[in-house]
Amino acid sequence: MDRFETYVQDNQERFLGELQEFCRKPSIIAQKIGIDETAQWVSDRLQKIGFEAQVISVEGGAPVVYGEIGTGDKTLMIYNHYDVQPPEPLDLWDSGPFDAEIRAGRIWARGVSDNKGPWMARVHAIETYQNVVGELPFRIKWVVEGEEEIGSPNLGRFVEQNRALLAGADACLWEGGRRDGAGRPVISLGMKGICYLSLSVNGANSDLHSMNAPIVSNPAWRLVWALASLKDENENITVDGLMERVVEPTQDEWTLLRDIPFDEEQIKQDYGITTFARGATGEEVVKQLLFDPTCTICGFLTGYTGPGPKTVLPHQAETKVDFRLVPDLNPELVLQLVREHLDRRGFTDVEVELLAQLWPYRSPVDHPWVQTCIEVARAIFGAEPVVYPSSAGGGPMHQLCGAFDIPGISGGGAGNPNSNLHAPNENIFIEDYMRAIRYTGHLIRALNKL
Amino acid sequence: MDRFETYVQDNQERFLGELQEFCRKPSIIAQKIGIDETAQWVSDRLQKIGFEAQVISVEGGAPVVYGEIGTGDKTLMIYNHYDVQPPEPLDLWDSGPFDAEIRAGRIWARGVSDNKGPWMARVHAIETYQNVVGELPFRIKWVVEGEEEIGSPNLGRFVEQNRALLAGADACLWEGGRRDGAGRPVISLGMKGICYLSLSVNGANSDLHSMNAPIVSNPAWRLVWALASLKDENENITVDGLMERVVEPTQDEWTLLRDIPFDEEQIKQDYGITTFARGATGEEVVKQLLFDPTCTICGFLTGYTGPGPKTVLPHQAETKVDFRLVPDLNPELVLQLVREHLDRRGFTDVEVELLAQLWPYRSPVDHPWVQTCIEVARAIFGAEPVVYPSSAGGGPMHQLCGAFDIPGISGGGAGNPNSNLHAPNENIFIEDYMRAIRYTGHLIRALNKL
């Protein structure tokens, strides 16, 4: 691959210029800014390297860019997104979020790490491969969506409506990927799901003087009792039938888990806490973080919440509860279990509404495409990869990979430990960008050998 | 008392004019408007009918007007207040809240029912008595405070600092009093106390992404579990040692209670509820309302409470809890019981702060002064009095009556069922005002006969 390396180096200036051009296009889905225009730009750029690319509109959502190239028995799916988080607060940026300024060895721009840099590096890797090796050795199906930063609300529908187009891939190279502080490449093989509920109770027809409390039922109390039935003081989720569905980590997953660096003292210091939940230490902390489902009160509002006392009996109470899901849980199942659990205990007055949902997904660690992604990372980064069997957070991996039962591998990105994703001064190092190009180039060759 | 009646009728126009003058003086304690000036006016007015009156300043609070008159073995204490609620919202008044307009047989003004009219009626009753009968037959000690509408935060201190001055009364004629829809005079012999707490928990040093929920303890959950330990799903307060201190109604109190008109269907319709708490019906509803302590969630705030989902792990949670107290509970005791109860269950992380407090108080039903107040009401109103052994709400009766162990009797006021206390268009009927004067006049004579 010497010629690959030479081509990449010779074209570094142009590559960075193109990345700057991409980053200078605001594509802020939350604010509906620049979405269609950026989708078209992405499609055009894919066509330039030979992709049959199209902008596929999705009713009520942002369009998805879809491109195909190559022939052969194998098919690699790739997932990226062209939308970015809002840049606010603007005054905390050292240079404009859409200036894409190069400074001190880095490019600074909203989206440069999440996820425009990693997408562009893949484009540049394929271009390089084509120029120094020739035609791609297998088929690529590339999905570039535009709603990742608002939770991919329409990706599932897009997949449903385009199953024939998308089917037949062996694995999916996911977005994401960074190196940690020790230079180790970070790879993730799964994502938790989400079942985000609103639980609410209505009482009297208006707030009442609290002297009426002996005779008028209080919706805030009803909600507290309902909540207390969902999770106990020892942090055990007690929703009937929920924990029974949770799959324990496999031996392979435990092996990966034990190798994940996790600086307990540093994390405790960062969060300002003295112990972890359940008093966990060592590998148990990481096991909980990655493999345990959660039931989190994200918000609770009722009655008077200003300063001082106000003697009021609230007539309405609402709480937002976020269940993070691991296999074999899913949002519809959890919604149903919660409803049945509450009904069984007489909490028929608690209204349950589903506000957001994602299915969990985990890729098999021993899948050959997964192992190849890990091996190439080890070679290119020159360090032992940190492989997460699942991220602690959620993502739409199930919508794409689950639909076709293929492994999803997140890695090979250009991020660093201080890339400031979703924050001011988002950045990547030029060095990391060039390494991301090399990673994808080498990966294509390695996957071809399978 | 024919001459009493004649004098009252002859002076009606002047009486009403003076009441208007009083009502035209805003004395809004919450907004610190007109307090000192009104206190002086009240003191001057008492002096005009022969009281040794003075404005006694209270450090950090509104001054208390204190007046004494008369000689003899018996002493009657009287309690009123000269402060009023804020008049807002102004646009809902049909005439200015401090215009004291007379219209359709009523006087309309902020404070005319609560509590300027009832105070003035007592002044006019004493003036009339002095003019048609002569010197008062017993001693009167009159306390007119200026902070009732903000919970009488300094009345206890005033009593402490002026014990010698206030001591020696046989009973206390309290503020309040109205007729109900059927024309029955309403008398109240007690008030619940209050222990208003803030319970709060701090977690991490800032709100975190909810993916951290498996390892970082959630203050909202801690608070939910702590709350659920204070009161169970059957509405039983489960604070260790609390219910054991609650005194059951006496036979006399049960007798009064059974005679209190309570239109269950109307109340349910007014509040928009289908059943009362605990499924109570009949006299049990009234018993609960007047004799049960409460533990009410008045407010709960944590995390994200806007529209839609936000996956956040809150770092702070606060709830406000209002305990309404009956004998033999008191705020200090309840604060201590709650603290010990929480500590015993490991909730040492729940911070408990006392935001407001009142002791409960109940007067003995069979006390001769109490019985006399009831009998005179029966005669003057020409209807069977409705006697509450305790109100459902709180008030500072304990601070004055409890300090000297004398009965407090609230009654003889000028209110009607639609007097709009604390609301726009507060009013009393002229007819009710004149009856309130007669009530006090007859009461002086009747008490003298004891």
Of B244, B290, B288, B282, residue with least CA distance to B386: B290
Give the strands of the sheet with A294-303, arranged side by side. A351-358, A193-202, A316-325, A294-303, B294-303, B316-325, B193-202, B351-358
pLDDT at B2: 84
The C-alpha atoms of residue B120 and residue A425 are separated, in whole angstroms, by 70
Chain B contacts of A322, Cβ < 8 Å?
210, 213, 309, 311
**pLDDT tens, residue by residue, B204-257:** 999 999 999 999 999 999 999 999 999 999 999 999 999 999 999 999 999 999
Q: What is the dihedral of CA B169, B171, B176, B178, to 10 degrees?
A: -140
CA-based max dimension of chain B:
83
The residue among A298, A329, A350, A421 with the most chain B CBs within 10 A of its CB, best to mutate, is A298
How many contacts, defined by CB atoms under 8 Å, are there between A and B? 233
C-alpha distances out from residue B411 to A10, B175, B375, B388, B423, Å? 97, 7, 12, 10, 21
pLDDT at A1: 58
Per the CB < 8 Å rule, is B393 touching A303?
A: no
Per the CB < 8 Å rule, is B322 touching A304?
A: no
**pLDDT tens, residue by residue, B135-191:** 999 999 999 999 999 889 999 999 999 999 999 999 999 998 899 989 999 999 999
pLDDT at A2: 84
Token duo for residue B180: 């109900």
Please name the member of A205, A285, A304 whose beta carbon is closest to the beta carbon of B215: A285
Residue-wise DSSP of A369-388: HHHHHHHHHHHHHTS--EEE
Shortest Cα distance, chain A CAs vs residue B30, angstroms: 13
pLDDT higher than threshold 90 for residue B1: no
The residues pairing with B408 across neighbouring beta strands, listed in sequence order, are B172
The C-alpha atoms of residue B224 and residue B220 are separated, in whole angstroms, by 6
Per the CB < 8 Å rule, is A224 touching B297?
A: yes
Per the CB < 8 Å rule, is B298 touching A276?
A: no
- Domains of chain B are 2-191+360-448 (3.40.630.10), 193-246+293-358 (3.30.70.360)
Phi, psi of A321 (to 5 degrees): -125, 125
Exposure string of A311-343, with b = 16+ CB inside 10 Å and e = fewer, is bbbbbbbbbbbbbbbbbebbbebbbebbbebbe
**Model-level pTM?**
0.91
The C-alpha atoms of residue B355 and residue B299 are separated, in whole angstroms, by 13
Mean pLDDT of B291-297: 98
Please name the member of A303, A355, A356 whose beta carbon is closest to the beta carbon of B298: A303
Judge residue A363's burial from the number of C-beta atoms within 10 Å of its C-beta, 0-12 exposed, 13-18 middle, 19 or more buried.
buried
**pLDDT tens, residue by residue, B364-389:** 999 999 999 999 999 999 999 999 99
Helices (H), A292-356: 331-344
Per the CB < 8 Å rule, is B215 touching A280?
A: yes
Q: What is the dihedral of CA A154, A156, A161, A167, to 10 degrees?
A: 140
Task: Give the amino acid at B282.
Answer: G
Exposure string of A387-421, with b = 16+ CB inside 10 Å and e = fewer, is bbbbbbbbbbbbbbbbbbebbbbbbbbbbbeebbb
The percent of residues above 70 in pLDDT, for chain B, comes to 100
C-alpha distances out from residue A196 to A295, A387, B341, Å? 9, 27, 33
Please name the member of B297, B320, B394 whose beta carbon is closest to the beta carbon of A221: B297
**pLDDT tens, residue by residue, A139-168:** 999 999 999 998 899 999 999 999 999 999
Segments of B90-164 assigned E as strands: 101-103, 106-108, 139-145
> Sign (positive/negative) of CA torsion A11, A47, A30, A335?
negative
pLDDT at B450: 85
Q: Residue A99 in 3-state DSSP? A: coil
E strand or H helix that includes residue A200: strand A193-202
Of B216, B206, B316, residue with least CA distance to A392: B216
Q: How many CB atoms lie within 10 A of CB B389?
A: 23
Q: Which residue of A has its CA nearest to B306?
A: A299
pLDDT at B32: 95
Token duo for residue B204: 């991490």
**pLDDT tens, residue by residue, B44-100:** 999 999 999 999 999 999 999 999 999 999 999 999 999 999 998 899 999 999 999
The C-alpha atoms of residue B46 and residue A309 are separated, in whole angstroms, by 34
**Residues A152 and A399: beta-carbon distance below 8 Å:** yes
Residues in chain A, pLDDT under 70? 1
